[in-house]
Amino acid sequence: MKKLILFLTIVTLFSCKNETKDNSYFDQDDQEIKIGGTKMITIETPKGKFKVWTKRYGNNPKIKLLLLNGGPGMSHEYFECMESFLPKEGIEFIYYDQLGTGFSDNPNDTTMWDLPRYVEELEQVRKQLNLDKDNFYLLGHSWGGILAMQYSLKYQDNLKGLIISNMMASCPEYGKYSKVLEKQMNPDVLKIIKELEANKEYTNPKYMDLLMNNFYNQHILRQPVANWPEPVTRSMARLNQSLYITMQGPSELGISGKLTNWDVSKELKNIATPTLVIGAKHDTMNPEYMKWMSTQLKNGTYLYCANGSHMSLYDDQQTYMNGLIDFMKKVDTKN
C-alpha cells in the first residue's frame, strides 16, 4: 500500500511539473517603475530632436516583431488585432508611431515627410530597442511596406525576418492597377469623384463619403463602413492629413504624392533576408504582382489571402495571422 501511495505521489508531481506554463513572455525588465512597455525614443533629424512613441508587448529574445503602420499618417492602433493572436504564441511585438503620427511628436513640417529620413528614423529606433539580426523581424503594412523595403535595401544585415504586407514594390505599377479597379466602380459614382478631384474638393464630405462607400468598403476593408473594427476607425481618425497628402495624395484611388515614382522592383533581388510577401484578392495592390515580388527576393515566400483586401489582417484574419506566425517560427527554427 505504501508503495502504491508513493508511486501515485511521484506521478502527480511529475504531471504537475509538465503542466507548468512558460511565462517568460510576460517577463519584465528591471526598470523600477513599470510603465507597461512604453518607451519614448529620442531621434535626431535635420530639423532637430524629436520623440517617437513605442510600446512593447511580451518578451521573446528570439522573435521581436516591429510594426510599421500604413497611411502614411495613420497610427499604430489598427494593429491592435495582433494582441488576440501573438501573445499566446509567445511572440513579442512592438508598436511604433512614426514621426508625425499617433502619440509621437508632430513637427508640422512637410519637408520632414520624406522616405530617406524615415529610413534613418527607423534605424535609430531599432538601435534604441536593441533589435538585431538575432531577433529583429520587421513588418511593414501598406506605406509601412515601402518603408520596410527601403530600409531593408540599406540595413538588411540588422534583420532576421521581413514581412511586406499589402504593398507593391512599384508605385507606378500601383497607379496602373488602380485604373483596373476604377473600371469595377459604378460609372456615375466614379464620374462625381473625378469631378470633385478636378476641382480639388478633397475636404468636401461628399468626396470621402463616395470613396468610403464605393471603393474603400470593397478594397480597403471588405465590410460596410459602419461595421469597421473600432481600432481601424480610431487609427483612421488620427490620420495626419498633411503627411498623407504629401506622400500618397488625396485618396487610395491611385497615387499622386511624393511617392508617385518610387520603384524598387529591380532591387528586390538584393534583399537576402527571409521575407514573407502578403497579398490579397481584393486589395488595392495587385495580388499577382505581389506573388511575383516573392519570386524576385532571394528568400521570398508568398501568402495569399483569398478573402482579404488591403486590411486582410481583418477581413481574412485567420489566413493572415496563421501565415504570419508560421513564417516567423519557421525562420526562427532554421536559425
**Active site (catalytic) residues:** 142, 283, 310
SS3 content of the chain, % helix, strand, coil (to 5): 50, 15, 35
Neighbours of 48 (CB within 10 A): 8
CA-CA-CA-CA torsion sign (294, 295, 298, 303): positive
Q: Over the range 126-165, which residues count as b (16 or more CB within 10 Å of their CB) and which as e?
A: beebebeeebbbbbbbbbbbbbbbbbbeebbebbbbbbbb
Distance of alpha carbon 227 from alpha carbon 21, whole angstroms? 37
Point out which residues pair with 305 in neighbouring strands. 280
Question: What one-character DSSP code corresponds to residue 202?
Answer: T
Measured CA to CA in angstroms, residue 238 lies from 103, 113, 186, 290 at distances of: 10, 17, 29, 28
Q: Is 225 helix (H, G, I), strand (E, B) or coil?
A: helix
Pull the grid cell for residue 301: 515566400
Distance of alpha carbon 220 from alpha carbon 280, whole angstroms? 10
Q: Which residues contact 326 (CB under 8 A, 6 or more apart)?
A: none
Phi and psi for 112 in degrees, rounded to 5? -85, -15
Contact 53, 61 (CB under 8 A): no
Cα–Cα nearest to 64, from 10, 123, 131: 131
